[in-house]
Amino acid sequence: MSTRQFGARVQRNEDARLITGRGRFVDDLPLDGVLHGAFARSAVARGRITHLDTTAARALPGVHRVYTHADLGELDVTMPLLIPHPCIGHPRTQYPLAHEDVYHVGQAIAFVVADDRYIAEDAARLIEIDYDILPVEVDPAKAALDGAPLVHEDVPNNIAAHLVQVSGDPDAAFAAADHVTRIQVRVDRSTAAPMECLSTAARWDAVSGELTVWDGTQAPIGLRGALSSLFDLDEDKVRVVAPDVGGGFGPKIVFPYSNEILVPFAAKDLRRPVKWVEDRSENFVHMTHERTQIHDIELAATSDGVVLGLRDTFLHDTGSFIPYGIAVAQVASTQIAGPYRIPAIHVTFDCVYTPTVPVTPYRGCGRPQANFAIERAMDQLAAELGIDRFEIRRRNFIAPDEFPYTRPDLVFADGLPVTLDSGRYDDALAALEKALDLDAIRAEQEQARAEGRLLGLGLSFYVEGTGLGPYEGAKIRLHPITGKAYVNTGLTAQGQGHETAWAQIVADQIGVRPEDVIVVEGDTGVFDWGVATFASRAAVVSGNAVHVAAVSARARIAQAAANMLEADPDDIELENGRAFVRGTSSRGVTLAEVATMSNPLRYAFNKAAQTATQFAPTARSTGKPLPDGERPGIEVSEYYSPPHATWAYGVHAALVEVDPVTCDIDVKRYVCVHDCGNMINPMIVEGQVAGGVAQGMGGAFYEKLEYDENGVLRNASFMDFLVPYATEVPHIEMIHMETPSPLNPLGIKGVGEAGTIPVGQVIASAVEDALSPLGAPPVRQVPLSPSAIHDLLREARVSA
């Protein structure tokens, strides 16, 4: 093979359409005769509907139907609990449309279908809804107390789930400790805010009995399963297509949302295509949220800073329902010990219902909170023991020769005990110190402090279990006309560049250019074995499935070419779209010819096909044209199932200056060292990391969903909930380390969420360092708004 594509900065195949306005997002798809939907949503957090009248809405010209729960028939059931777990004592999931009770502002109550969206929204406003308003408590800490208002009246203390996990002997560890550090930290609620809101379109074909649903989802196969089941249709009669999807970041993994039921239902009912596109304000009160957790963490350590044991008890706000199970809390609980040896762990959590939008994974999925807890605690321990923050981490790292490192009985999201597979944590920290030029920074900080400026350095070391199973697959087919390779997987992409990354992997095996590998994903009509895109798993699980399939395709091509060239398959080389015998590259056959000849034909539908017809001299065959056990064409499907999660890691640092007057924070440098194993495409990896850091910056500084005491979301717009512009994200200095994962053939670890995880702690640590000369209290919460900084400064002045 000539130039290796794996590891190269290959430009993306998907860009051609996206930079010319030819993207294929759900709302871009032309659907003849399409009708438009709009929801009427609850205006109160917890209430009982006393009056619901759709008369005026139905009477509005241009309105086709208005649906309430009573119209849904067999679909009027609570939605599935997607990831059941025995610790969920009180699972509650939502109806597609609310019955008498509403549980959060924004819960769908009625669905209007009209000629256009303007009319549909007019009609939605004409629906009369009165409520008995019930008391609410939106703070999860208070909601879990005795006597708090209940979200679900039969769920005591609003506790949906409770889990205790013990690894090692924490009691002995705490008994043996010289020193115990205890802190409480909190991370607030945020939302993924993908640039494309949720969207669904559907068409019912009454002739074939087929339902086609185009949906901005991360999980088309899962949604297909749910719709087949709910609509009582064979899976073959339901096709779910996730075309271009404008960002996902987690919440689009959840299904089915109300729109994913109502839009196909209306299309089937009205025999017309129906489309619904969420608007931004609606997205804030409908699409799932994440992040609020309150951790009480304790570290038991020796006097020289070796951590012997960890106890963490935390509350996880799951919102009004728990459709995705305990995933967020479970991931947080299993990443709580970070990169540290810590041999004894006791971790307990409660998932608490609050009358708010349901909570499911958002980029990071509990890891940002766990990272914030353990790393804040490590900083505190370092301060209490008088040990440097870098040094205390170094003293606790799992060493390279200790891998695989298992935390017994701490069960990760793949159902297996946490087993960190590989890493060079010490090297990563050293690389960070070198990039920062730590001595120079400390001198600069001293100088700044002498001038009365507040300069601080913060750091955070994270680990991330990535590449969850159960499995993914890939189909590769060589096209007989063009010789191009077509690749399908069961995933879907929301910007991660699968069309390029998979093409690179295939190109290396079969000797074609990456642009000649056409990747089609996200369409259950094309390939419908697999799981979904989430948890930094695509490159690990699908990437390796594509690799295994490409190796298999290569073998089939070599065999077919060897037959054509009368050579040994082992002597066949593939390069530049051709197969030839090693050393004779001028002679050979094209991959198109190989694909043609490997499919015995009767009909010569074109000139090339003549060669494969039964009387052609080239297609001579003494036995069966297709020998027993053989299949026609060059087409393979293969699967990859990881033994367990593979653990990426990294360490970030920031140098910040706090303006004591405006409370503004200037991030002067941001340095990121990370290791996601072997990189398929460093350009794409850098984009993932940078985008992750940008979302982390949002979480560190700006993004906080503000529920008032009545459970009304007060900042449900981009004017009030601040997503970082280019001005709010620093330039990121990035250092790649590549420690191959021993778990998969390509040595890959996931990177999708990596950038986001440590940022809250990095900034908190840096701000705390900056304010330390003033005697400010420690930072225990993100986001760090200017008001939060102001509070820290005021407390410093009061205590001074």
Q: Which of residues 657-696 bind another protein (CB under 8 A)?
A: 683-684, 686-687, 689-695
Q: Do the beta carbons of residue 596 and residue 608 sit within 8 Å?
A: yes
* Least distance CB 591 / another protein (angstroms): 26
* Least distance CB 21 / another protein (angstroms): 2
Stretch (H or E) spanning 657: strand 646-658
Within 8 A by CB and 6+ apart from 11, the residues are 500, 683
* Least distance CB 583 / another protein (angstroms): 37
Figure out which of the listed residues 3, 661, 725, 798 binds another protein, where binding follows CB under 8 A: 725
CB atoms under 10 Å from CB of 643, counted, come to 13
Binding to another protein in span 477-516, by CB under 8 A: 494-497
Angle at 542 between CA 537 and CA 544, to 5 degrees: 105
Q: Which is nearer to another protein, 446 or 706 (CB)?
A: 706
> For residues 382 and 368, what is the distance between their CA atoms, to the nearest angstrom?
21
Figure out which of the listed residues 27, 296, 515, 635 binds another protein, where binding follows CB under 8 A: 27
Q: Which is nearer to another protein, 681 or 741 (CB)?
A: 681
Q: Hey, what are 782's tokens?
A: 């993100």
Q: Hey, what are 674's tokens?
A: 């990370």
Cis peptide bond upstream of 470, omega within 30: yes
* Least distance CB 39 / another protein (angstroms): 7
* Least distance CB 68 / another protein (angstroms): 16
> Per DSSP, what are the bridge partners of residue 464?
648
* Least distance CB 276 / another protein (angstroms): 11
Tokens 């990881």 — which residue? Answer: 642
Q: Which is nearer to another protein, 29 or 608 (CB)?
A: 29
> For residues 527 and 10, what is the distance between their CA atoms, to the nearest angstrom?
26
Q: Which is nearer to another protein, 21 or 86 (CB)?
A: 21
Figure out which of the listed residues 7, 23, 417, 569 binds another protein, where binding follows CB under 8 A: 23
Q: Do the beta carbons of residue 483 and residue 577 sit within 8 Å?
A: yes
Figure out which of the listed residues 4, 15, 156, 563 binds another protein, where binding follows CB under 8 A: 15
Residue 366 binding another protein, by CB under 8 A: no
Q: Which is nearer to another protein, 34 or 180 (CB)?
A: 34
Residue 615 binding another protein, by CB under 8 A: no
**541 by DSSP, 3-state: which?**
helix
Within 8 A by CB and 6+ apart from 781, the residues are 185, 186, 187, 188, 788
Nearest alpha-carbon partner for 647 in 771, 463, 473, 402? 463
Pairing between strand 238-241 and 307-319?
unpaired
Residue 712 binding another protein, by CB under 8 A: no
Q: Which is nearer to another protein, 59 or 164 (CB)?
A: 59
Binding to another protein in span 536-565, by CB under 8 A: none
Q: Which is nearer to another protein, 292 or 695 (CB)?
A: 695
- Residue 512's region, left for phi above 0, alpha for psi from -120 to 50, else beta, is beta
Q: Which is nearer to another protein, 691 or 783 (CB)?
A: 691
Q: Which is nearer to another protein, 759 or 771 (CB)?
A: 759
Q: Which is nearer to another protein, 338 or 755 (CB)?
A: 755
Figure out which of the listed residues 731, 787, 798, 800 binds another protein, where binding follows CB under 8 A: 731
Q: Which is nearer to another protein, 25 or 403 (CB)?
A: 25
Count the site residues for another protein by CB under 8 A.
72
* Least distance CB 356 / another protein (angstroms): 15
Q: Do the beta carbons of residue 490 and residue 528 sit within 8 Å?
A: yes
Binding to another protein in span 261-290, by CB under 8 A: 279-282, 285
Binding to another protein in span 770-799, by CB under 8 A: none
Q: Which is nearer to another protein, 449 or 668 (CB)?
A: 668
Binding to another protein in span 162-221, by CB under 8 A: 192-197
CB atoms under 10 Å from CB of 105, counted, come to 27
Tokens 């999708």 — which residue? Answer: 752
Q: Which is nearer to another protein, 463 or 693 (CB)?
A: 693
Binding to another protein in span 43-102, by CB under 8 A: none
Q: Which is nearer to another protein, 24 or 182 (CB)?
A: 24
- Sheet with strand 646-658: strands edge to edge: 454-466, 646-658, 665-675, 733-737
Q: Which is nearer to another protein, 40 or 549 (CB)?
A: 40
Binding to another protein in span 31-50, by CB under 8 A: 38-41
* Least distance CB 279 / another protein (angstroms): 5
Q: Hey, what are 121's tokens?
A: 């929204």
> Per DSSP, what are the bridge partners of residue 67?
111
Could you give the maximum distance between any two Cα atoms of the chain, in Å? 98
Sign of CA dihedral 696, 700, 703, 707: positive
Figure out which of the listed residues 717, 742, 777, 794 binds another protein, where binding follows CB under 8 A: 717
Judged by CB under 8 A, which stretch of 24-32, 302-310, 397-405, 530-538 contacts another protein? 24-32
* Least distance CB 427 / another protein (angstroms): 25
Nearest alpha-carbon partner for 376 in 767, 775, 789, 4? 767
Per DSSP, 340 falls in state B
Q: What is the DSSP string of 436-500?
A: HTHHHHHHHHHHHHHTT-EEEEEEEEEEEEE---S-EEEEEEE-TTT--EEEEES---SSS-HHH
* Least distance CB 690 / another protein (angstroms): 3
Q: Which is nearer to another protein, 242 or 429 (CB)?
A: 242
Pairing between strand 108-114 and 63-67?
antiparallel
Figure out which of the listed residues 144, 549, 716, 767 binds another protein, where binding follows CB under 8 A: 716
Stretch (H or E) spanning 221: helix 220-231
Pairing between strand 210-215 and 238-241?
parallel
Residue 12 binding another protein, by CB under 8 A: yes
Q: Which is nearer to another protein, 23 or 91 (CB)?
A: 23
Q: Hey, what are 369's tokens?
A: 């909170």
Judged by CB under 8 A, which stretch of 144-152, 163-171, 592-600, 721-729 contacts another protein? 721-729
* Least distance CB 731 / another protein (angstroms): 6
* Least distance CB 717 / another protein (angstroms): 6
Binding to another protein in span 111-140, by CB under 8 A: 116-118, 121-122, 124-126
Judged by CB under 8 A, which stretch of 261-269, 425-433, 535-543, 722-730 contacts another protein? 722-730
> For residues 352 and 160, what is the distance between their CA atoms, to the nearest angstrom?
6
Judged by CB under 8 A, which stretch of 70-78, 201-209, 531-539, 726-734 contacts another protein? 726-734
Q: Which is nearer to another protein, 247 or 778 (CB)?
A: 247
Per DSSP, 567 falls in state S
* Least distance CB 593 / another protein (angstroms): 30
* Least distance CB 23 / another protein (angstroms): 5
Judged by CB under 8 A, which stretch of 149-157, 538-546, 723-731, 784-792 contacts another protein? 723-731
Residue 755 binding another protein, by CB under 8 A: yes
CB half-sphere exposure, 538, CA atoms < 13 A:
28
Binding to another protein in span 232-251, by CB under 8 A: 244-247, 249
Pairing between strand 572-575 and 733-737?
unpaired
At position 600, the amino acid (one-letter code) is P
Judged by CB under 8 A, which stretch of 149-157, 413-421, 638-646, 716-724 contacts another protein? 716-724
Sign of CA dihedral 205, 211, 214, 215: positive
**222 by DSSP, 3-state: which?**
helix
